[in-house]
Structure 1
Amino acid sequence: MSSDADSPLQRIRNIGIMAHIDAGKTTTTERILYYAGFLHKMGEVHDGNAFTDWMDQERERGITITSATVACIWNDKQINIIDTPGHVDFTAEVERCLRVLDGAVGVFCGVAGVEPQSETVWHQADRYKVPRIVYINKLDRIGADYERVVQMINERLSSKAKLVNIPIGREDSFNGVIDLITMKAWTFDPLTLGSELHLEDIPAELADTAAKHREALLESVAEYDDQLINAYLEGQEIKPEWIRRAIRKATISNQFIPVLCGSSLKNKGVQLLLDAICDFLPSPLDMPPHQGFDPQTNDPVPVEPDPNAPLVGLAFKVQIDKYVGKLVYVRLYSGTLKKGASFYNQNNGKKERVARILQMMSNRKNDLQELHAGDIGAFVGCRFLSTGDTITDGSHDILLSKMHFPDSVISIAIEPKTKADEESLKEALQRLEEEDPTFKVHTDKDSGQTLISGMGELHLEVIVDRLRREFNVAANVGNPQVSYKETITQSAVSEETFQRDMNGKGSYARVKLRVSPLSPEELSKERKNIFVSSVSPEKIPSEYIKPIEEAALNALNDGPLINANVERVRLELIDGDHNPVDSNELAFRIATSMAVNKALREASPVIMEPLMLLTVIAPEEFVGDVIADINAKRGKISVMRRHNEYQQEVVADVPLSELFGYATRIRSLSQGRAIYSLEFKTYEISPAQVQTAVLRRIRGYA
């Protein structure tokens, strides 16, 4: 951990705010910006004027759809904030933001506690080892219970969460917090919208509760600071700065999670959250060097957060802006890039010049002259830069690891309302596909229809709405359809020879391939398909192996049953032949495609369907009906637990095809009192009767 307190990097905090939908992320962000002096008037989500919810759909629906970036200053620290979506359909936004952040704030509702999507984003943060703090919001609400929420966090997410402040009063009487570090109380003046804070002694009736929680805090972090542990063990006076230092060290090493309390809507507790962001979350210098790898040797290459070192950065998001065109968000891990300078794209080998560098303030833009290590900015004028690309100055070979995005699971057919809109629709869909890694556009081979695919019905609704609003393209859409895939259940070997005269010249290639299902070990590495070659260069020269691999993998895009993508396949090139005069790349590509298609047909292909993780939280009297309905939908219940005093939580794996219209169904079953969430889990082989029905519907025969 760096001790260079004077470095500009030490004063940067790159953080994300993440939570389940409606936990209060965006309202919390609004209050942070207001108290930090960035906004002079508070926006409200329910009024449709929150600063970071800038899209029309966000303002109308009251949810965050895209991640919004904004920066503010607090206690001489620059806080770069990304307010991420809470709805599972927009999980890609959360994924790519966590990839480039140094810390995160998890916002939890003081009534609902740990909810399904808060678990999802928490585990996403676990994967990237992001240090985080917890903010328990909405403690003014009826039924709010901060101790129960902390217990839920410790049971379901992390046993390392401990309170660093506690509320004064409950529900309507909530009017302040007790700082367990200083053992002082803070109250917030409602006449100044909480801008004026009053420091007071701890109310006598809460002294014992505060002492209990402070003892738990000290027990958890004392070992992380020598002065603190010595004073703690010897019963001496403990200075607040020792506790802060210990909490910071433990938090940055992912051994501790500070928990704070408040009510953002009622303007209570947000300034202490800002203090905690600055005090406990890391700067770019506090994190271990980011690990890249050498693309030639696969050896790890550390990237030091040094503005004077060679340039290394990651493009993590593309956004199409109606005023400046394509914006590419980049996190610089090393070096400095000036406006107008060139960079090298390690992924596609292209050199590009950045025309402008912008600091994005939600949908506002500030021009920057340069971007330094640790900073996040948006590039203008970079045609060939895409999400996941690594940029350097070209002086060394390095790639940063790609981001992982789930497969799209639902599709709809789309067509322009008029012939005149045909080209506009095509162009708009291409731009939206470039923006969103979980949105796909393809053409159905049999019908010729254009299909768009995404993570859920809301995801595609928003896409179609954006076509109308942002691109002025009116479109007709079909009903939602499940995005099926194919796989194989047996091995098969196929040999194909391509030999013919083309334009008066001979063309020859012979390949022999084996296809087989991926092993459990290969599947555990999240590999979709694997290609290997065991053929000697004497039989097939090495320059043809890469084209053969590309042709083999491309052939898997068109399965033998329903023309769906084929996955979980191992392709092995086991034999072949070439002619020094007549063999060429095209001949090997054609022979390979023929061999793969034949082998797939002989390898007992089957259809796979998307399996969703369904979570339902319902009053106890409705749980029996909910379970019966899940069982009727081919669901498999994995968890049943008490959510709170009145509600049960049911978690099940359910095929997506059974869940269209589930919002209406669950409303009917529970008299509108249950809530649910859906999250993609995996693809699994469909039962025989389902495969037969799918074949009949798509092919017209089984």
Structure 2
Amino acid sequence: MGIVAHVDAGKTSLTERLLYAAGVIDRVGRVDDGNTQTDLMDLERKRGITIRSAVVSFALGDLPVNLIDTPGHSDFIAEVERALSVLDGAVLVLSAVEGVQPQTRLLMRTLRRLRIPTLLFVNKIDRVGARYDELLADIRRLLTPSAVPMATVTDLGTRPAAVEPLAVQRSELAEILAERNDSFLESYLEGAAVDQAAELRRQVATAEVHPVYFGSAMTGTGVPELIEGIRTWLPRATGTPGDELRARVFKVERGAAGQKIASARVVSGTLAARSPVAVHPVDGPEYQVRPSGVEVFANGARQPIERVEAGQIVALRGLKSIRIGDQLGVPTTQVGRLFAPPTLETVVSARDRVKLFQALMQLAEQDPLIRVRKAGELTVSLYGEVQKEVIASLLESEYGVQVSFSETTPIHVERLNGVGAAMRDITEGPWAAGVGFRVSPGSDGLEYELEVELGGLPRAFHTAIEEAVRQTLHQGLFGWEIPDIRVALTHTAYDSAGTVAADFRRLVPLILLQAIAEAGTTVLEPVNHFELDVPPDTISRILAHVAEHRGVVTQATDTHLEGTIPAATTHPFESQLPTLTHGEGLLTTTFHSYIPVATEPPIRPRTDGNPLNEKQYVLHLNQS
């Protein structure tokens, strides 16, 4: 199960309480003191925020739990995304004071879309300003209409605040359950005896209803009731050791000796050290590996084990090419992107460029969204300014590299304007290969289609073509990625005696970009949605400030604004808010969409030798 929340709602503190209740730790650590069990990085302890997902295993009675504590800061939403892909259930934490925040809404929307059974825990009921009825109304309006309170609160907003559990067998709950089950409704209206607990368990398991618990992670109030709710309502894993192996890698890190350690959820089957395992990469052909070591998470630590079974989370060693998102054993349907990719990038520089590049590539293994580009300068992609500090800290502490960053700039994308086609036969160039492509606008990532017979070309050549297509689309006509496109392979040719896969890898960028050039592209810039709370006496200044930074207000009151603002101006906009709002402005932003650039399209330096200029491209290949 995962614990997710907006930053500072109390996820890590709740994790500490659960570990204490399970007997894994003998004292509850504090985030402010930097001594919590799951915040292991120095920077996490210094800043009091979770940056990397941490796994800890324990037992709640007869229920074994693998708990994933996820980051709350929006800069690290990619870590949350990877955790969500392996969950059976979740606890979404809210603050009784701050209530439903933008990140809370984003997380709940994703949990509901994935149909992950979820309990809500309203934390900090002992804080001044804590709310109950008003907050429940906000939860039902903004998060889920099927929120079911499982307790009332006495002495709300004071130190002695306590919870009083509500009976499961009650009319309010019966009415909510009846709205989602006609047979239950019929029995209830006829006055027949109905098992509300059984129906609640079923509807929680199908993510139709969401029980809401109240408490304080700092004092422990309400935590026993939450634990009982986890044991009672969240469904247990159903995979069995006798099934075929299915596992998904959701985290990759490096050990003290520099070796890769991959964390994976075993959904079904068994996995043993030194036994062959099929790996299905996120993109690329299947291959076989033999894990040199298998460790299981148990009682707050990792322990070596020879064989692991369904339902457990394991740490695997000896998988040199493993990446986040790879599947082991029999592949299941790939989980699509849950959150938007990074929309910002920055140039990173250091005295030792070679060492910096190697270190950044290792960081990119742990976080695939830290894309590293080498186009004269080294650039990395970002979600926000906090991530800069994290990357700098990791590079210095783990690799001994001190770095500096340039100003953050937005990552644009390109969108096809129409349809284009290009073809080259085997007799027309320096490589013993021929390909043809037709491209057209897409709406959901790369849609790659074959309009040639699969058997007309060796499989290795088909693999080389598709991999080259994916790589080429990272740089469109203006140097920006083309994320949504339909590519049809319309022609292939090869010489059985002389053609090698490298011939196709070199030819594909030339012909694919010719087809894209015929279609034409438009450069788009990222735009964020913002919510801003300000003092009433500053609202006119803030409205002018929004307009000055190309923002558009869509909703407004005397103290609250919502709207959109380009990613390019978001940081400058935010940096001036403390002065304009007497330090009282509260801004949250999330990615919203891409819109066409209104001015001259920005051009990004290429890293591929420029296939749009064949002579320059061939020269680049000959020199590399």
Q: Are residues 1:474 and 2:399 paired?
A: no
Residue aligning to 1:280: 233
Residue aligning to 1:215: 171
- Distance in 2 between residues matched to 1:42 and 1:670, nearest whole Å: 37
- Distance in 1 between residues matched to 2:260 and 2:505, nearest whole Å: 35
| Cα distance change of structure 1 residues 553 and 21 upon mapping to structure 2, 3 Å threshold | closer
Q: Which amino acid aligns with 1:401?
A: Q
User: 2:348 aligns to what SS in structure 1?
Assistant: strand
Does the CA-based 8 Å contact 1:416-1:476 persist in structure 2? yes
- Distance in 2 between residues matched to 1:311 and 1:425, nearest whole Å: 38
- Distance in 2 between residues matched to 1:666 and 1:571, nearest whole Å: 45
| Cα distance change of structure 1 residues 351 and 631 upon mapping to structure 2, 3 Å threshold | same
Does the CA-based 8 Å contact 1:64-1:85 persist in structure 2? yes
- Distance in 2 between residues matched to 1:235 and 1:552, nearest whole Å: 63
| Cα distance change of structure 1 residues 587 and 679 upon mapping to structure 2, 3 Å threshold | same
User: 1:596 aligns to what SS in structure 2?
Assistant: helix
Alpha-carbon distance, 1:377 to partner: 1.6
Match of 1:668 among 579, 590, 593: 579
* TM-score of the two chains, using structure 2 as the length reference: 0.87
More displaced 10-residue stretch of structure 1: 15-24 or 596-605: 596-605
Residue aligning to 1:34: 20
Residue aligning to 1:343: 277
- Distance in 2 between residues matched to 1:542 and 1:73, nearest whole Å: 52
Does the CA-based 8 Å contact 2:205-2:233 persist in structure 1? yes
Alpha-carbon distance, 1:494 to partner: 3.8
- Structure number with greater Rg is 1
Match of 1:432 among 363, 388, 394: 363
Q: Which amino acid aligns with 1:457?
A: E
Alpha-carbon distance, 1:258 to partner: 0.7
CA deviations 1:400-438 (Å, max 9, x no partner) are 424526322211212322x4xx44323221211011121
After TM superposition, the structure 1 = structure 2 runs for residues 313-352 of structure 1, keeping only pairs within 5 Å, are 313-322=247-256, 325-347=259-281, 348-352=285-289
- Distance in 2 between residues matched to 1:578 and 1:308, nearest whole Å: 45
| Cα distance change of structure 1 residues 44 and 558 upon mapping to structure 2, 3 Å threshold | same
| Cα distance change of structure 1 residues 28 and 229 upon mapping to structure 2, 3 Å threshold | farther
Does the CA-based 8 Å contact 2:244-2:268 persist in structure 1? yes
Alpha-carbon distance, 1:635 to partner: 2.5
| Cα distance change of structure 1 residues 65 and 361 upon mapping to structure 2, 3 Å threshold | farther
More displaced 10-residue stretch of structure 1: 381-390 or 398-407: 398-407
Match of 1:604 among 494, 516, 520: 520
Structure 2 unaligned segments of length 5 or more: list them.
Answer: 607-624
More displaced 10-residue stretch of structure 1: 146-155 or 674-683: 674-683
After TM superposition, the structure 1 = structure 2 runs for residues 180-195 of structure 1, keeping only pairs within 5 Å, are 180-181=166-167
Alpha-carbon distance, 1:24 to partner: 0.8
- Distance in 1 between residues matched to 2:595 and 2:586, nearest whole Å: 26
Match of 2:75 among 65, 84, 89: 89
User: 1:167 aligns to what SS in structure 2?
Assistant: strand
CA deviations 1:254-302 (Å, max 9, x no partner) are 22111111111232111111111111111013xxxxxxxxxxxxxxxxx
Alpha-carbon distance, 1:154 to partner: 0.6
CA deviations 1:367-389 (Å, max 9, x no partner) are 33432111112112222322122
Alpha-carbon distance, 1:314 to partner: 1.3
Alpha-carbon distance, 1:362 to partner: 10
User: 2:314 aligns to what SS in structure 1?
Assistant: strand
Residue aligning to 1:401: 334
User: 1:153 aligns to what SS in structure 2?
Assistant: helix
Q: Which amino acid aligns with 1:432?
A: L
* TM-score of the two chains, using structure 1 as the length reference: 0.78
- Distance in 2 between residues matched to 1:671 and 1:362, nearest whole Å: 48
Q: Are residues 1:489 and 2:417 paired?
A: yes
Residue aligning to 1:295: none
Q: Are residues 1:379 and 2:316 paired?
A: yes
- Distance in 2 between residues matched to 1:274 and 1:334, nearest whole Å: 26
- Distance in 1 between residues matched to 2:296 and 2:99, nearest whole Å: 34
Q: Which amino acid aligns with 1:251?
A: V
| Cα distance change of structure 1 residues 251 and 536 upon mapping to structure 2, 3 Å threshold | closer
- Distance in 1 between residues matched to 2:6 and 2:15, nearest whole Å: 15
Does the CA-based 8 Å contact 1:103-1:282 persist in structure 2? yes
- RMSD, matched Cα: 3.3
Does the CA-based 8 Å contact 2:265-2:314 persist in structure 1? yes
Residue aligning to 2:472: 555
Residue aligning to 2:439: 515
| Cα distance change of structure 1 residues 576 and 63 upon mapping to structure 2, 3 Å threshold | closer
Residue aligning to 1:595: 511
| Cα distance change of structure 1 residues 317 and 400 upon mapping to structure 2, 3 Å threshold | farther
- Distance in 2 between residues matched to 1:479 and 1:362, nearest whole Å: 44
- Distance in 2 between residues matched to 1:436 and 1:363, nearest whole Å: 24
After TM superposition, the structure 1 = structure 2 runs for residues 49-60 of structure 1, keeping only pairs within 5 Å, are 49-60=35-46
After TM superposition, the structure 1 = structure 2 runs for residues 80-159 of structure 1, keeping only pairs within 5 Å, are 80-159=66-145
More displaced 10-residue stretch of structure 1: 457-466 or 317-326: 317-326
Q: Which amino acid aligns with 2:261?
A: L
- Distance in 1 between residues matched to 2:41 and 2:265, nearest whole Å: 23
Does the CA-based 8 Å contact 1:496-1:592 persist in structure 2? no
User: 1:81 aligns to what SS in structure 2?
Assistant: strand
CA deviations 1:29-74 (Å, max 9, x no partner) are 1111112221111111111112211111111111111111112222
Does the CA-based 8 Å contact 1:181-1:243 persist in structure 2? no
Residue aligning to 2:65: 79
More displaced 10-residue stretch of structure 1: 540-549 or 310-319: 540-549
- Distance in 2 between residues matched to 1:319 and 1:19, nearest whole Å: 23
Alpha-carbon distance, 1:250 to partner: 2.0
After TM superposition, the structure 1 = structure 2 runs for residues 209-288 of structure 1, keeping only pairs within 5 Å, are 214-221=170-177, 234=191, 242-285=195-238
Identity of aligned residues (%): 27
Q: Which amino acid aligns with 2:82?
A: R
Does the CA-based 8 Å contact 1:160-1:257 persist in structure 2? yes
User: 1:613 aligns to what SS in structure 2?
Assistant: strand
Residue aligning to 1:454: 382
Residue aligning to 1:634: 550
Structure 1 unaligned segments of length 5 or more: list them.
Answer: 1-14, 184-213, 286-304
| Cα distance change of structure 1 residues 602 and 32 upon mapping to structure 2, 3 Å threshold | same
Does the CA-based 8 Å contact 1:181-1:244 persist in structure 2? no
- Distance in 2 between residues matched to 1:262 and 1:225, nearest whole Å: 34
- Distance in 2 between residues matched to 1:697 and 1:537, nearest whole Å: 36
- Distance in 1 between residues matched to 2:202 and 2:604, nearest whole Å: 61
Residue aligning to 1:202: none
Alpha-carbon distance, 1:442 to partner: 1.3
Residue aligning to 1:299: none
- Distance in 1 between residues matched to 2:528 and 2:384, nearest whole Å: 11
- Distance in 2 between residues matched to 1:511 and 1:501, nearest whole Å: 11
Counting matched residue pairs gives: 601
- Distance in 2 between residues matched to 1:345 and 1:275, nearest whole Å: 38
Q: Are residues 1:679 and 2:590 paired?
A: yes
| Cα distance change of structure 1 residues 431 and 592 upon mapping to structure 2, 3 Å threshold | closer
User: 1:660 aligns to what SS in structure 2?
Assistant: helix
Alpha-carbon distance, 1:564 to partner: 2.3
CA deviations 1:336-383 (Å, max 9, x no partner) are 223443322133433222233223479843233432111112112222
Does the CA-based 8 Å contact 2:538-2:580 persist in structure 1? yes
Does the CA-based 8 Å contact 1:616-1:651 persist in structure 2? yes
Q: Are residues 1:356 and 2:293 paired?
A: yes
Does the CA-based 8 Å contact 2:554-2:562 persist in structure 1? yes
Q: Which amino acid aligns with 1:515?
A: V
After TM superposition, the structure 1 = structure 2 runs for residues 414-429 of structure 1, keeping only pairs within 5 Å, are 414-417=348-351, 419=352, 422-429=353-360
User: 1:172 aligns to what SS in structure 2?
Assistant: coil
More displaced 10-residue stretch of structure 1: 473-482 or 570-579: 570-579
- Distance in 2 between residues matched to 1:573 and 1:73, nearest whole Å: 53
